[in-house]
Every structure is written in structure tokens, then in C-alpha cells.
Amino acid sequence: MKKIWILARMTFREAIRRRIVLTGLVLGVLFLIVYTAGFRMIYHEVTYEASLGETTALDMVAVRELTNFLLLAGLYAVAFLSVAMGALLSADTLAGEINSGTIQTIVTKPLRRSDVVLGKWLAFAWLLGLYLVLMAGGVVLSVYLQSGYLARNLPTGLALIYLESLLVMTFALACSSAMPALATGGTVFGMYGMAFIGGWIEQIGALLNNNTAVQVGIVTSLLFPTEAVWRRASFEMQSALSEILGSSPFVTVSVPNMVMMGYAVVYLVVMLAIAVRVFRNRDL
């Protein structure tokens, strides 16, 4: 276990020095600036219009619903950025080191190959956690300071967003243990796109009471459960009124249950085990 922690620290320091992390942080800060400015303008305009006449309870509810929508929109963008960061971090880690030959300097030391994979996974998990704290924390803090609003079940929702990014990162690590970096990137984003489309098909099918469309969405969630995890996160954080009225694009009609969330965790563990097994048996 000590070897895994040592390798994790080394990988973490190396990842920090990589330009992809710096680029992600810079773009993340720019996103937070744009989001904060955009939220301020929209929120100020809405509250100003509401204050022109006699403010009613309905006006207050409308402002609250808009705030919830804008918060979820910001967190949706954060979820995508975290997914992209997870994919880009892992896609080139094993495949790139194998291709360049630098992996030989690691595996020749008294380290098991499983220690290499687990150490890298742990380092990337730390990095994604810090990135999510920065991005999601920035969005939530911006909304709270300007409006005083906090979504319900916020810790649960953010934990599920973190799980989504870990799923993509682990899947990319498994692919990287067997394929070149470009093939890994194409596979990961292709699977993510399939899950995204499948999720919308399921939502539309639920609205139209089309069981076949719902089943298509469920199958894509079983193949790659990222979209199901996001929809559960959105469901946890959406307002009660939005849930009843379906008044927001982020309202989840077909809600993934906790069994699906358990499946997502099992999926992550299986992908990590596959990464360990494939890398252990791969000819370097």
C-alpha cells in the first residue's frame, strides 16, 4: 500500500506540471468569471423587474425557480468540464508512457504493475476532486453570495457529479492500458456521447409514455452510466416545484434509482480491475 501512495504522489506532482492541468484551471477560472457576470446580469434584471410593482409570492417563487435553473446550468457545465478533465488526464497516462518507453523506468523497480495503475488512479482521483471543489464550489458560492440561494441535497448532488467524473477517468484508464492515446480518447468521448443521447431518448420516451425509448435509454446507461449519474444528481438538486411542474430542462422525468447508482459504483470498480489486469498482462 505504501508503494501505491508514493506512486500516487509522484503522479500527482507530474500531473500538476502538465499543461493540460494548467489549461484546465485557466479555462475553469474564465468560466467562473463569465458565469458569475452572466448570473449577476440575469438575476439583477429579474429582481429589478419584480420590484417595479408590488412583489407577490408568485414573483418570489419565479425568482427562486430561475435561480435554481441557473445553478443547475452552471453545475451541468462543471460536470462536463470535470468529465473532459478526467478523460484527458487518463487517456495518455499509460498509453503515452508505453509508447515513449518511460514506463520501463517504473516497472523495472520493485513495483507490481497493479501498484502503477492504482497509484495513477488515486492521483487522478485527488486531482479531479480538487478540480471539482474549485469549479462546483465557485458556482455554488457565486450563486449564494448574489442571491442567498442553496439547492436542496447539494452535497449529494456534488458527490454524484464527482462519481460521474471518476467513471469517465477510470474508463479512460482502462482503455489506456490496452490502446493508444488517440483511440482511447475517441472511445471515451464516443461512449459519453452515446450515453448522453441515450439519456435524452429515455427522457423523451418517458414524457411520451414510449416504453421502447425508455428501454433504449436504460440499455445505454448500463453500457456507460455517466448520464444516469448526472440525471440523479440533477434530480437531487432540482427544486420541488420544478419536479412537479417539469418547468426546467434539467427536470428528470425518468429518475435513475439508487440501484443504478450502485451499479455505477460497481461499474467503476470493474473498469479499474480491467485496467489492472490488462496492464499486468500487456507486453511492454
pLDDT tens-digit series, residues 230-264: 999 999 998 877 666 655 667 777 788 999 999 99
In DSSP notation, 229-251 reads: HHHHHHHHHS-HHHHHHT-STT-
In which band, very low, low, confident or very high, does the pLDDT at 21 lie, cut at 50, 70 and 90? Answer: confident
CA distances from 157 to 152, 153, 233, 259 (A): 9, 6, 4, 16
Joined together, the cell numbers standing for residue 19 give 499543461
pLDDT score of 271 more than 80: yes
In which band, very low, low, confident or very high, does the pLDDT at 275 lie, cut at 50, 70 and 90? Answer: very high
Number of domains the chain contains: 1
pLDDT score of 164 more than 90: yes
pLDDT score of 90 more than 60: yes
With a pLDDT cut of 90, the percent of the chain lying above it is 49
Joined together, the cell numbers standing for residue 49 give 423587474
pLDDT score of 55 more than 70: no
Residue 14 confidence (pLDDT)? 76
Structural domain boundaries enclosing 254: 2-281
